[in-house]
Structure 1
Amino acid sequence: MSMRMGICVSSLLKVSCYSHKKKSVPYNLKEGQSRIFHEVPSGLNMEVIVQKSRNVVEDEKHYNPPLVFVHGSYHAAWCWAQNWLPFFSQSGYHCYALSLLGQGESDEPNDTVAGTLQTHARDVADFIHRNIQSPPVLIGHSFGGLIVQYYISSLGNDKLKENLYQELRGAVLVCSVPPSGNGGLVWRYLLSKPVAAFKVTYSLAAKGFQSSISLCKETFFSDTMEDHVVKRYQELMKESSRMPLFDLRKLNASLPVPSVPNSSLKVLVLGANNDFIVDAEGLKETAEFYGVSPVCVEAVAHDMMLDTSWEKGAEVILSWLKSLHN
């Protein structure tokens, strides 16, 4: 019996048999990458793409922290594995990219949505608690950034039955949904850019990006990205998001994310100048929430880690990571 099947059988005692469907558009791992499956508290299995560095610094005072990546809606671990995992592993960092439940190669819960802000954050926390030996840097994109924010708000919370939330070395919020959610973004678009508001609503809420190359490019990427590359990512996005990440009504009702007064955690708030989804006001809100100045990368779109100039954001993060030693 394989390890994968063994996990499935043992999990039957805790949950009804879950659905695991491989994508019909598979993501082929790059050299040095491996795919593992981590069993989360619900008994389901979460895909993790791992790329470890051959030259990581292990010194206790100046060690390079492990990097744990959390994707947003319509994405999965592969979105980090394409460019940023090779980049950061070559720069001396062990990298772990997670696929949240119902996304990528992860198992699907027996529900209409993949989870809540709380359950997704708990799954991330459980992975870190059981697999990462030293405090990592948590990196979240878009709605994944909101999950990271909830993780931060849970640090040291004695009210939680099981405080799985381990100490972090830092956090990076990439084109993140702000702490209050996406409601403010939508209303600003409706009032100031009604055409853009219709496009972004049709593209994301109605999944219009799945059937239109031009709309997919406008939503996630720069104009300079070639259509055949957009099509490849479009297919992966469609296959990766078999069920919604959240129930947005319930999510917005649970927001804003709790504040963390007097927190010493270092946070980098990183935005993209050509972001079609998160506007400058949303970026500013997130930065003010953590008491930092936002960094906005020029000539890059929402999917900063996949865009034509993906190295721009990666270089900013690398410089920030090196500053953690100071």
Structure 2
Amino acid sequence: MPQARLATMRRMRAPDPFEMNFARGTMLAWDPPAPRPDAPALVLLHGAACGAWVWAEGFAGRLAAAGHAVFAPGFSAQRNGAPAGLGDYAADARAAIDSLHRRVVLVGHSLGGLVAQRLLDAPEVAGLILLAPAPPEGLAWANWRLAMADPPLWRAVARMTEAGGTAAEAAVLRRALFGPGMPEALALHHLSRMGRESRVALLEAQAPQPVPPAWSLGKPAVVFGGRRDPLVPPDAVVRTAAWHAAPFALLDGMGHAMMLDMGWEALADRLAGWLEESFK
């Protein structure tokens, strides 16, 4: 990204979000204060046990300040009284995209990254940005390795489908989700907002997924992961990038929840730079 534009983006006040309705729910939206001509809109898809709120802590506003209209739908872990599946999440995201009537770039984190990859062949989708994404191969191998290497963390993740949680589980989740520089009070604040996840969606995410490679569709993609992320480990990030023939970066000092972690501003700026280069 040109340095002058990057400096302007950093000075510009991030817009406040507002809520929009669409056919299957609601989403948060941010209008860019200075829209970039012909820039695609960004649809941000959150990960497991989270919601659209994870993008509203600053990340989405910074992308809007870079000139993009930004939208963040939420996934409902229940559909018609039963746990939702990945197909339900994909339908939620697809309905949000359809409501915009414009080309979009999907930004998917973790489980939302898997949903984003499943939607890559939609005609409105122009590109893909993945943050610590669940890989096309599924999470079974990463999950098994986590169970062997860190049983307390594996148990804490498994309990994401249940109500409540212990202080010990919060402590082990904290070290997985956030880097060592994250203040404890802020980490616990974010953890307190996380809720139950659908056991069906998590179970389905263990298996290989119907994900088309980005290169086969002629759509640009980029992948970011944490160098010490135990939930989506670096080798899974590298294989996801290879599947899409996409560049990737492994980030030091950031945990799995990188849009909330210390250094999120620099990561948002990297996304904005990639978007400017890819969609001139």
Tell me if structure 1 keeps the 8 A contact 2:177–2:257: yes
What's the CA shift string for 1:202-238, capped at 9, x where partnerless?
1210249943342231121112211211121111103
Report the CA distance shift for 1:225/1:52 in structure 2 as closer, same or farther (over 3 A): same
Number of aligned positions between the proteins:
262
C-alpha root-mean-square deviation of aligned residues, in Å? 2.1
Q: Distance in 1 between matches of 2:190 and 2:47?
A: 14
| CA apart distance, 1:111 | 3.1
User: What amino acid sits opposite 1:315 in the alignment?
Assistant: D
Matched, 1:32 2:1: no
Q: Distance in 2 between matches of 1:315 and 1:151?
A: 25
Could you tell me which runs of 5 or more consecutive residues in structure 1 were left unpaired when the two chains were aligned.
1-29, 41-45, 103-107, 156-164
The residue that corresponds to 1:256 in the other structure is: 209
| CA apart distance, 1:69 | 0.3
User: What amino acid sits opposite 1:199 in the alignment?
Assistant: P
Report the CA distance shift for 1:323/1:151 in structure 2 as closer, same or farther (over 3 A): same
The structure number with the bigger radius of gyration is 1
1:1-326 equivalent positions in 2, closer than 5 A: 32-40=16-24, 46-58=25-37, 63-102=38-77, 108-113=78-83, 115-130=84-99, 132-152=100-120, 155=121, 165-190=122-147, 194-196=148-150, 198-207=151-160, 210-212=165-167, 213-238=170-195, 241=196, 243-244=197-198, 246-253=200-207, 255-260=208-213, 262-326=216-280
SS in 2 for 1:217: helix
TM-score of the superposed pair, with normalisation by structure 1: 0.74
TM-score of the superposed pair, with normalisation by structure 2: 0.86
What's the CA shift string for 1:12-34, capped at 9, x where partnerless?
xxxxxxxxxxxxxxxxxx96211
Tell me if structure 2 keeps the 8 A contact 1:72–1:141: yes
Q: Distance in 2 between matches of 1:313 and 1:139?
A: 13
Tell me if structure 2 keeps the 8 A contact 1:72–1:143: yes
Report the CA distance shift for 1:321/1:295 in structure 2 as closer, same or farther (over 3 A): same
| CA apart distance, 1:91 | 1.1
* Higher fraction of strand: 2
SS in 1 for 2:175: helix
Q: Distance in 2 between matches of 1:290 and 1:35?
A: 33
Tell me if structure 2 keeps the 8 A contact 1:297–1:313: no
SS in 2 for 1:206: helix
Tell me if structure 2 keeps the 8 A contact 1:129–1:166: no
Could you tell me which runs of 5 or more consecutive residues in structure 2 were left unpaired when the two chains were aligned.
1-13
| CA apart distance, 1:135 | 0.7
